[in-house]
Structure 1
């Protein structure tokens, strides 16, 4: 009902003209079928349940702009419609149409905060900055010409120039840090990301120790002091290791081994090891070990915890997809149909979130510049070309 009240529907039948033959008997409204598919994934309904809801539920009929006595359609029609969506990126086009309708209605604001859960979200900052400088330089020249001598632009400016230079360019910049979960974080990845991409990964590094960490008792690896210069490790009771082992099969880890005679008389042996042999401590090379220790220290800082709290938005989205819409399991066989399910689920979640909050208030637009006034006088559009993937 919110879709009908706020948007007057997400799609029109004219949006689907190219996907159906021009001849033959008129069929069902494709815009209505697309809306039913979205409502189906919003409410986790099967094809039979969705078709029955269209036939019996008043809120479905209202959302679809159907008469109360409309008998609906057979449930097999939905499977045929999804097959059409799985061809030629039609599902992605459906999502783009829905987002464009929401944006025109003022429900989706531009330049808002976006959350993503990708392994690498990196921008080519140097190339984008150069492109931005070139575009802004040309636009500055056009602004000056539109102010002093607009007649010289009549033979130069066309529709393509209007779209490209009509408004300021703000391209994405290189991120300084993407916030990741603990299952993704590794010390090697933290080091490589900072060294190769100048991006700091923010995420919890697991504590050392196996049963010590699980039982919250005993001596973990962090309780041992590692002296890389003298190539020895000192335990909490002051005993130093006898062997420093760097085996290629264990790379990049190094092992420091204590002698059994050092542990047999030790009163804290049960808190250190449960085996019959002496304790062996495995650790990373110096630069990775120091990075690991620094990260674990930062995790206890209040400022680090506040920064990592932004991860909750991503985790909430994942939880909503997994628990609320069963996104980890596909109803269908094949990647194309699974992709259609993901797209329809995404549209359903957008509707669910937007419907739960008050509509965004429209912001007052900035006054047009001299060049923009020139373009308006020639009926040339200057909408944002870089946000349309062109």
Structure 2
């Protein structure tokens, strides 16, 4: 069998969920009578009914074969698992023993449940058939029908780091571990081939244990020697795999391809004049020996090829980044609602997560804004106003979001970073009047520009405006305007709409009304904190971008159900813990 595992094929015949068993429903009513609140799982079944239909997941399962568990129920179990932060074993036990879960799923009291590995198989099939977003899509569709989420209004988005489910390795450890991982994969898949081709005792002495479990040499010279040894061993191993006499299917092993990529990214291999092969370790200088590849392409682990090193301000991590979007509105006291048994103010709907986007750690926030808007449009949940921090916007996005999606970005734009603007003295770019029709710019001293040159800078169309050296040289305000060696002032302008939008945004964000309105964005920090505390969002449970994103989507669905449960039970929205000292301070202030 070449060491390959046979996949167990299961079939699904979509069926509606059974109604809650009467004896379980009676037990729930008896245990949670009076003021005691029913569990979340019970509330979800009562309020939302059959949330995830089997037919929505049927494409991930065969029509023939051994009958499997309901995929809709498995999706619901996965959401409840995230809400209670359970392992697969604990979730499988809860299906067997937890009355609230049996009520939500419509299971008999004596239902034996399933083996915990079924959940792993379910996740793998969902990812394989690209149904990662399905659970959140179905939940939001139901909530949209109930009027709990709608298009328009206000939404806010922020991102946070996610640490990959692998150990952090430096370049030396990565090279050695890639060789070791490849050896392990080959030994498992083709042990007879390894015994015939390699010196097993010699390779075993060098690669028996994980590279990061023993102390590396202290001196840089010995580290460099060890790095070259890893490189030579890696190229030797690949040469054996790609030899004509070796089985061709060995080249298809993922560990072999990962080793090849790690070697290409970290080493150079040339042939000297005497015919001798020379292997060198790549330096950090990109102009010397090609340098290292950009961070977005550089592997950081042989066990998760999607993880990347990311940096944000003073934070440096290996893994991913997740962007969370949610509805938001300033709370307003109104009359209590009477529908759905809710005991909370009708206008104070819960803030619900509308989208989750997961990327590797190198992707910038601004790059993700348009994909986020596209995902919201697909769900028919585009907001009128989108609250963001300064990492997302640009002149192009401010104009493009309004034109393409009808969304006004409420976000602080980066201020003019020119020397004059930062020093608050002299003439900043915003002090120059632009006549777009005549293609002329007038400086604060009344002088006209001499040239208007359209160009492309960093892939963005711009216009470079230049004043003549004669005019600037004799100007009494020259010291306030420019210190360029050319003796004249140049200004780089975005296209008209972008320039005017940028200047207007910079002026608005200085007003108190704008700052008061923008304070609404701060609430998304609490959402990230809740996601971290409840679902462990900042640490990936699984390897690979697809499974990590799946985990984030089900975490978002779980948080929405938690918030709905609080809303159904009349708890205040955005409730956070208040210390006794803070309460004392508030009472004294009152």
TM-superposed deviation, 1:79: 0.8
The answer to whether residue 377 in structure 2 is matched with residue 179 in structure 1 is no
The answer to whether residue 243 in structure 2 is matched with residue 205 in structure 1 is no
How many residues are paired up?
A: 301
Alignment correspondent of 2:537 = 326
Which of 436, 440, 451 in structure 2 is aligned with 1:244? Answer: 451
How far apart are the structure 2 equivalents of 1:190 and 1:331? 36
Task: In structure 2, list runs of 5 or more residues that go unmatched.
Answer: 1-37, 156-326, 328-353, 356-368, 572-590
TM-superposed deviation, 1:224: 3.3
Alignment correspondent of 1:346 = 556
In terms of mean alpha carbon deviation, does 73-82 or 345-354 score higher? 73-82
How far apart are the structure 1 equivalents of 2:115 and 2:52? 23
Q: Deviations over 1:200-225 (max 9, x none)?
A: 55443322124566x55554624633
TM-superposed deviation, 1:260: 9.3
Assess, with a 3 A threshold, how the Cα gap between structure 1 residues 61 and 193 changes in structure 2: closer, same or farther: closer
Alignment correspondent of 2:431 = 224
Decide whether the 8 Å contact of 2:463 with 2:492 is kept in 1. Answer: yes
Alignment correspondent of 2:122 = 81
Decide whether the 8 Å contact of 1:205 with 1:292 is kept in 2. Answer: yes
Which of 68, 74, 78 in structure 2 is aligned with 1:37? Answer: 78
Q: How does 1:20-169 map to 2 (within 5 A)?
A: 33-42=74-83, 49-52=87-90, 55=93, 61-65=98-102, 75-86=116-127, 94-95=135-136, 109=148, 115=327, 119=370, 120=373
How far apart are the structure 1 equivalents of 2:541 and 2:82? 12
Assess, with a 3 A threshold, how the Cα gap between structure 1 residues 253 and 329 changes in structure 2: closer, same or farther: farther
Query: What TM-score does the superposition give when structure 2 sets the normalisation length?
Result: 0.37
TM-superposed deviation, 1:297: 2.2
The answer to whether residue 342 in structure 2 is matched with residue 301 in structure 1 is no
Root mean square deviation of aligned Cα: 5.7
TM-superposed deviation, 1:276: 4.5
Q: Counterpart of 2:98 in 1: which secondary structure?
A: helix
The answer to whether residue 565 in structure 2 is matched with residue 355 in structure 1 is yes
How far apart are the structure 2 equivalents of 1:30 and 1:303? 50
Assess, with a 3 A threshold, how the Cα gap between structure 1 residues 232 and 328 changes in structure 2: closer, same or farther: farther
Q: Counterpart of 2:462 in 1: which secondary structure?
A: coil
How far apart are the structure 2 equivalents of 1:92 and 1:70? 29
How far apart are the structure 1 equivalents of 2:508 and 2:562? 37
Alignment correspondent of 2:312 = none
Q: Which has the higher contact order (CA 8 A, sep 6+)?
A: 1
Assess, with a 3 A threshold, how the Cα gap between structure 1 residues 180 and 96 changes in structure 2: closer, same or farther: closer
Decide whether the 8 Å contact of 1:209 with 1:220 is kept in 2. Answer: no
Q: Counterpart of 2:491 in 1: which secondary structure?
A: strand
How far apart are the structure 2 equivalents of 1:307 and 1:212? 29
Decide whether the 8 Å contact of 1:241 with 1:257 is kept in 2. Answer: yes
Query: What TM-score does the superposition give when structure 1 sets the normalisation length?
Result: 0.52
Structure that is richer in helix per residue: 1
The answer to whether residue 44 in structure 2 is matched with residue 7 in structure 1 is yes
Assess, with a 3 A threshold, how the Cα gap between structure 1 residues 197 and 266 changes in structure 2: closer, same or farther: same
Q: Deviations over 1:106-145 (max 9, x none)?
A: 8x74759673676357999xxxxxxxxxxxxxxxxxxxxx
